Amino acid sequence: MSLPWIHENDIEYRKYTLWFVYACIIYSIIGFSWGALMGGIAEFRYFVDHRLHGDLIVRGHTHINLLGWVEMAIFAAIYYIVPRLVKRPIYSLALVKVHFWVHNVGVIGMVVFFVMAGTMGGMASVMSTPQEVEVIVKPLLAIMGIFGTLVLLANFVWAYNLYKTCSNWEKAYEAR
């Protein structure tokens, strides 16, 4: 069945919408497993609860769940619903692709550097002063911030693409 608001890039658009779903599934499995390990392994739980900067590992877990699992599911649902709602194709398939890749690179980078900072800070805190630990952790958190900025940028790309898709939808709808 051909829908008048779906264009020739529909296969590619559907592919990327499904990639958001697949990414959501992968992030959820990682996040759920990670949470089970933190809760189920006493030594791991002690490390994240009692070592200096060990809580950054929990932040990595939180971000993989929120920015990976939850946000990716929301993006997939909105990418599916909006073109049908406004009866027009997405404004830019290229922006959908940029959004997908930049968001995933950002999430993965954030999580990796949160975990590195938490692990290295926690291990260093056994034999080092808090000031020495800060010297180790601070640059890792700065790099994590760069990846966080990528996630924010990807979210702006997503918002812009949806805004352009939805703006003046009434005129396009009435013209049909």
Are residues 31 and 111 in contact, defined by beta-carbon separation less than 8 angstroms?
no
- With bands split at pLDDT 50, 70 and 90, how would you rate the model's confidence at 1? very low
Q: What's the whole-model pTM score?
A: 0.89
- What 3-state DSSP class applies to 21? helix
Q: Which of 19-28, 32-41, 150-159 has the lowest mean pLDDT?
A: 32-41
- Region 165-170 average pLDDT: 86
Q: Using the 8-state DSSP alphabet, how is residue 25 labeled?
A: H
Instruction: Kindly report, residue by residue over 46-67, the tens digit of the pLDDT.
Output: 899 889 899 999 999 999 999 9
Core vs surface per residue 42-65: b (16+ CB within 10 A) or e: eeeeebbeebbbbbbbbbbbebbb
pLDDT at 4 over 80: no
For the chain, the average pLDDT equals: 92
| Residue bearing the bigger pLDDT, 64 or 87 | 64
CA distances from 1 to 5, 6, 91 (A): 12, 11, 22
- pLDDT of 175 reads 63
- Region 165-169 average pLDDT: 89
The DSSP string of 82-114 is HHHHHTS--S-HHHHHHHHHHHHHHHHHHHHHH
pLDDT at 79 over 60: yes
